[in-house]
Amino acid sequence: MILGSTGSIGTQAMEVVRAEPGRFRVRALAAGGGRAGLLADQAAETGAEAVAVADPDRAAEVARLLAERGSTAKVLAGPEGVAEAASWECDVVLNGITGALGLESTLAALRAGRLLALANKESLIIGGPLVRAAAQPGQVVPVDSEHFALAQCYPRVPAGELASLAQGQVQARVQDVRRLVITASGGPFRGRGRDALAGVGPEDALNHPTWSMGPVITVNSASLVNKGLEVIEAHLLFDVPLERIEVVVHPQSVVHSMVEYTDGSTLAQASPPSMRIPIAYGMSWPHRVGAAAPPVDWTRAQTWTFEPLDHEAFPAVRLACEVGAAGGTAPAVYNAANEEAVDAFLGRRLSFPAIVDTVAQVVSERHAADEPEELTPEDVRAADAWARSRARELIARGA
């Protein structure tokens, strides 16, 4: 099952399927519906038995296009249809949905007992306690390149058997870890101060130097919000305290993350900047796919550099650490406010520095005293809705 099949993660997953035609069978697909033709093409190509369309208004169009292509796939409509598809009988669910919409699908896949290849970091971040409670040991394999790398840098711990999701199974090994080091390319604005970012536009932010991603994730990479989300994700996956997770800038994007141990040794995972490697591993876990991507060319002279993150110009990571420490609905507020701010930036209604400023303002207005004792999906949805509404108000006022 591929969720978000017409997006960046999903289309690369399809490339992996094509490269290994005898290895994978796609039973179901899900997408928003904005690229209806591509979704119908994918269903016809793979022989998928079900197609879920998150936008119910596009379901009829998808059904018509499927019929034109000779596909008999069952059409499921709306967010509930995507969640139903996530529980469809299969070995692996690849969740490549972008944003908070992925939470229900993540929970549905876990509750159905499916192995979850998780590229939708937002679902873990905003629903951390819910996801951790639903997951069984070894049920989640991280597909984010950074967390895929971290999982491999823990010796004797199989990728997917993560500390937080295995609840204590590897706690003794975690005590040997001094810190996690997550690398960041620095995005298109690396080296610029805050003042120099005031006039940048969407076309500048979308011009990422090393990665090809969807527009929201690309803007998040430029603002370092994505890296802030990844810090929270690493904290939840590996049970390492936030203060022991560090971000360093590595423009070449070859070393994807590192684990530093108490004896002074550091293990790093290196590969070319291709998402096909972690996608393929997530889809075939615990086996590797030989045709995933070419390796690093060790016969070619090359230089890898590392530098500290400029937190003054890019405050999103520190803000994310505060949010992660607060827990509860705070991560949902951070994520929702950012999604609204990014949408406004792409629509040229908000300046680039104001993205994180807006998020910080919305987070500061959250009432921690009103936090529920035990988080529920309804709490997450309510926090998400409030944060979006408040962010839109601030944006309309020229935040």
pLDDT in tens, 285-320: 989 998 788 899 999 999 999 999 999 999 999 999
Per the prediction, the chain carries an average pLDDT of: 91
pLDDT in tens, 126-138: 999 999 999 998 8
Check whether 6 has a pLDDT greater than 60. Answer: yes
The CA distance from 396 to 349, in Å, is 8
Low-confidence winner among 21-25, 161-165, 352-356 (lowest mean pLDDT): 161-165
Instruction: Give me the pLDDT at residue 371, please.
Output: 83
Instruction: Give me the pLDDT at residue 369, please.
Output: 64
CA atoms within 13 A on the CB side of 310: 14
The CA distance from 363 to 365, in Å, is 5
Check whether 157 has a pLDDT greater than 70. Answer: no
DSSP assignment letter at 57: G
The CA distance from 275 to 33, in Å, is 23
Check whether 392 has a pLDDT greater than 50. Answer: yes
The CA distance from 169 to 172, in Å, is 8
The CA distance from 33 to 301, in Å, is 45
Q: Return the H-helix or E-strand segment holding 65.
A: helix 59-68
Strands 28-31 and 2-3: parallel
CA atoms within 13 A on the CB side of 134: 25
Check whether 168 has a pLDDT greater than 70. Answer: no
Distance of CA 379 to the CA centre of its chain: 21
Cα angle: 325, vertex 219, 227; to 5 degrees = 30
Check whether 160 has a pLDDT greater than 50. Answer: no
The CA distance from 208 to 227, in Å, is 14
Instruction: Give me the pLDDT at residue 175, please.
Output: 79
Instruction: Give me the pLDDT at residue 172, please.
Output: 45
What is the Cα gyration radius of the chain? 20
Give percent above pLDDT 90 in the chain: 81
| Bridge partners for 28 per DSSP | 50
List C-alpha distances in Å: 106 to 54, 56, 84, 100, 158: 15, 20, 11, 10, 21
Check whether 359 has a pLDDT greater than 70. Answer: yes
CA atoms within 13 A on the CB side of 275: 21
Of 88, 109, 89, residue with least CA distance to 97: 109
Instruction: Give me the pLDDT at residue 212, please.
Output: 74
